[in-house]
Amino acid sequence: MASLPLSCYTTTQFSSSISTQPPPRQRFSAQTPPPTRRFQVRSTGGPNNEKGENSPPNGGKFDRRNLLMGMGGLYSAANLVPTDSPASATPISSPDLSKCSRGTDLSTQQPLDVNCCPPVVDGITNYKLPPVTKMRFRPAAHLAGKEYIAKYEKAVAAMKALDKTDPTDPRGYSQQANVHCAYCNLTYEQSEDSDTKLQIHNSWHFYPWHRWYLYFYERILGSLIDDPTFGLPFWNWDNPPGMVMPDMFAVTTSPLYDARRNLEHLPPAAADLNFASKPTTDPSKIVTNNLTTMYGEMVRNVSKLEDFYGAKYVVGTAPDPGPGTVERGSHTALHVWVGENTPTGEDMGNFYSAGRESLFYSHHANIDRLWSTWQGLRGKKPKGFKDKDWLDATYLFYDENKNLVQVNVKDALDNEKMGYTYQKVDNPWVNYRPKPKVKKSKAAKNSKAPTATDTIFPVKLDKVVKVLVDRPRKSRSKKDKEDEEELLVIEGIEVDNSKFVRFEVFINDEDDKPEDLRDKAEFAGAYSQVPHKNSTRTKSKIRLGLTELLEDLDVDDDDQILVALVPKAGGEDITIGGIKIIYAS
């Protein structure tokens, strides 16, 4: 499998002429708050009508047709008065940049030694996508030619030069890195009346926020070299020919190079999408394991929207409610695989410093491409939530003219409407459905492991934990399976988010070395987390699809399954609150 052929594609460059006329918008300072306006919130429905174990009554939607989302986004959210019902919700909205906090080191109770706060400028405009005349073209990094690489290096060099000429220029390399740091490192409050910190990872904000981030980053680079057609390269790490770090990033004299990397992972090392600090993968199996992992993240485990995008996250939700498949898997693995081989993992291996690494943007460009690919794979199925708490969520970014602009999720659902497209590449994982090591396994029937209903939780993952989980329904019909996905829910995942952690999940495992099963149907998925600089203890959950997996293992008629939780990194810092099976329509 490692010798899969490299498919070649012709890189075509497009040109475009784009103009914007965003409407003016009033800005209030922290010292002069806007007049208070109060609204009564009424619940009307659920997110895309997909039911799960934590769906509130009526799904947490409310009608905002008469609600004006102004005043920097922050105040409009703060002035909503939710009812006592948990169905009431308010979408995450743009933070007040003047209230950015440096955070506290929990071990010393002293302010952090890093300031992520971007510059505060007066005036915010509501961004309107400009008409698309010609597409920006994002090439696969490993297929890019010399002319393109030279152009990209020139653009990044110009962005880094702004750090010297004007360190407060929001288009500068360091300030662009700060945008990611601030939104991802618990430096903003969710609303004026809440101490709960804002985090756009590990929830349904992961894809749209990063899409907007790359969108403006790309436009800034293009403007610095006077090329409105410039597109970012994507690191095609889900395809064997692209699994090695692209050569353009490994040239030490290039502005794309970052010295704070794991030097053992420079070319020709193949990226490990199941990386866990210490190598646990047979090098000869990395490619097959990677393809199996991608099949799980993009096909097997994502029949429900929440499982691909991540859990619902609104004002009042604690950070990290639940990451989607790609985010908690290959996304995190490659952050840590690239980052410096130290406990804190700079640059790429830590949220606060990830934006300082040029490869970060190509890594996320591929994740953005995978979002579009996944949408295409769904056919007529819903491609996004209908929940206004998702669609109406807003963020702040700096555009190529140094303007502070507000954007929303609903404008980020189609990359071509945003004016860019990706080079066509193979997706060999699409049909890479894994086979079981053992069919009709008796592992569950013969196991003496405790049942998940016993009083074994919470349990620390400082060793392998195996539990028997009851299946409320068995021998389901084809229609039952089409109507409802059987999901394994692992909840109350409590971690110290300043540390990298990872555990893997296997079903009916009969092997003493479960990592050897990553290319088999018994491998259900994994949970992992990129470290934060601003640390706290958070609780999260994951959902793993079982319908296809149990068919492959030929145990669809069994009353129980044997679940093995295998710690791979930081197990002593992971606590599991419970495990159960649910059915989601």
The closest alpha carbon to 507, from 494, 516, 520, belongs to 520
DSSP codes of every residue in 448-466 = -PPBTTSTT-SEE-SS-EE
363 belongs to an annotated ligand binding site? no
Q: Which is catalytic among the residues 62, 137, 142, 180? A: 180
CA nearest to 237, candidates 296, 180, 291: 291
Is residue 532 annotated as part of the catalytic site, yes or no?
Answer: no
Write down the catalytic residue from 142, 205, 265, 335. Answer: 335
From 142, 205, 265, 331, active-site residue: 331
Q: Is 180 annotated as a binding residue?
A: yes
DSSP-derived secondary structure for 92-153 = -----GGG----EETTTTEE-S---PPPP-S-EEE--PPPPSS-EEE-BGGG--HHHHHHHH
| 331 assigned ligand-binding residue | yes
- Does residue 331 have an active-site annotation? yes
- The angle formed by the CA atoms of residues 152, 153 and 159, to the nearest 5 degrees, is 90
Is 142 annotated to bind a ligand? Reply is no
Active site residue 142: no
Q: How far is CA 363 from the centre of its chain?
A: 11
Tokens for 197? Answer: 């910190």
Instruction: Confirm whether 364 is a catalytic residue.
Output: yes
Q: Spell out the residues 6+ positions from residue 443 whose beta carbon is closer than 8 angstroms to its own.
A: 508, 509, 510, 562
**Among this protein's residues, is 205 annotated catalytic?**
no
Q: First vs last Cα of the chain: how many Å apart? A: 36
Of 487, 469, 432, the residue nearest 304 (C-alpha):
487
Residue 205 assigned as binding residue: no
* Residues 113 and 344 sit within 8 Å (Cβ to Cβ): no
Short-list 265, 264, 270, CA closest to 287: 270
Helix axes 206-224, 358-377, angle to 10 degrees: 130
Determine whether the annotation assigns residue 201 to a binding site. yes
- Cβ-contact 43, 85 below 8 angstroms: yes
DSSP string, 318-379: PS---B-HHIIIIIHHHHHHHB-SSSS-TTTTSTTTGGG-HHHHHHHHHHHHHHHHHHHHTT
Q: Which residue of the set 265, 364, 523, 532 is catalytic?
A: 364
Give the active site residue among 205, 210, 363, 532. Answer: 210
**Burial class (CB within 10 angstroms; exposed 0-12, middle 13-18, buried 19+) of 52:** buried
Identify whether the C-beta of residue 358 lies closer than 8 Å to the C-beta of residue 347. Answer: no
**Class of residue 513 by CB neighbours under 10 A (exposed 0-12, middle 13-18, buried 19+):** exposed
Catalytic residue, candidates 137, 249, 308, 351: 351
Instruction: Considering the candidates 62, 137, 142, 201, report the single residue annotated as catalytic.
Output: 201
Residues labelled catalytic: 180, 201, 210, 331, 335, 351, 364
**Binding residue ranges for Cu cation:** 180, 201, 210, 331, 335, 364
**Binding residue ranges:** 180, 201, 210, 331, 335, 364
